[in-house]
Structure 1
């Protein structure tokens, strides 16, 4: 019996909210046969760009609600739930900003050391034929960021910008000449008596102004590494031992003979070396760092004693 729409709605206890849509104005006059449509808005929460907004919409899908809210959506962005999903009251819609960046990184590729035998070099000698150079590998990655945080990283490509150049080292294989016999004997009448370290020594020969150096069993001194054949074995066949082994010129100090070195002590001639000529002695030590510190020492006096180490009486 009401003649105005608002009066009819009041009579039927139908509330029209500020965001609802109605097919005719509330002040419209009614006539027989009228069809009135009230489209009620539902609350929806939209989270995008670090902000949370609640909107009321009469749209039916997520896509339509996003469009109505004037939030810009890029092709790579992601919307949860899917844009085709039907809207429900109090639904939460998330807009995830997806960004992709391409980066490149450079990585060193170590060179390889190649050893080649050389019959022109004495056994144990080393000579660098070609210097090595590290290569460089370039990798291209794609990083994907979601709302400013990286969520994935994918290798797109890799290329060798600069190949490694192998280092080539010549290793001597030429046999060393056999030591010449030295005309010294344990019974030499030219022995000199001297007292050292509490012992009375009879020196077969006294060497003045002797130069001392130091060496180890490692690659830097011998060209051999642990596991190589002959590693730690001297020219005399004995195994190197700190506090005993020295390398000498067999023409000056016979192999197997003991000596007394001022400031060093007793040592035994067990090894030779291509750089050990004349009045030079190479003293064996285990520590590579100590050998580097040892350097070259000059002006030492060495007493050549004989094949038997003196003992305390």
Structure 2
């Protein structure tokens, strides 16, 4: 018999080892694939997460808008990221620690320095407002209706501009004013010329005035009277002075060459002065005024009254006119000057008939009429 030959090509031990090797190789491949997939998933997740954290924010500074992209969480970090500084007096629409969301709009108002003078002090303050009125309100500067603002309230704010507030106050005070009396002079025809007397005593008046005073920053600028009341009435002092003319007496010396004696009709009389070449005219008062007063204070009387020039014949003296008779110098006239005598008549017809006569002789006797002898 021949030898028995084993034809099994595989060694049982060798076969187990090969199976193990194949399993390990395949497992490594699977693990590698799983690891690669895991890494890919992680990277995608990171990238997706990173992409989703990116935000767009609008920052408006003094009306100018800037659109920024950021992944920062708070406004403070966003501003720091883009080097946008915020001053201590600037106004930001939200707090700096606010979480910023995509599409948010943030407003920043830059504060401007201004010089404000008020209540005697000048200060440098900061405002984000547009005009003077808004700035004063923001800075808690109280204004009264009558206060003055320079420049005006609606003036636009500019950096380092000067603003002045003038405090205006008004008050009313009472003032007593003494009103002195006036001296009034009144003519009195019944009193002798050159005399005077007090008819009414004067008394000062008293007026109470209300004065409105206006002060600007404590200094008086205007004062005006808004009311007045008479507390005591003023009484004027009245003084009467005389205008009555007294007859002018001219004393002629008895030693004068003009002194003599004459015969007038049935009377002999002494005279002080003789006047020759005298012109005679006649006059009367206006109709209805018979008995009017003369310059000497007497009433005009036909047959007695004549008008003379007092420098030639004294008022109140008697004269003898040749061809006319005795007459008394009682009146004067604007046209009676020098050696002219105006003879009074009651009737204007008699005046017309008398006309103008020249060449008469007149004897000046004196203040007493001669008696018939």
The structure where helix makes up a greater share of residues is 2
Q: Normalising by structure 2, what TM-score?
A: 0.42
Larger Rg: 2
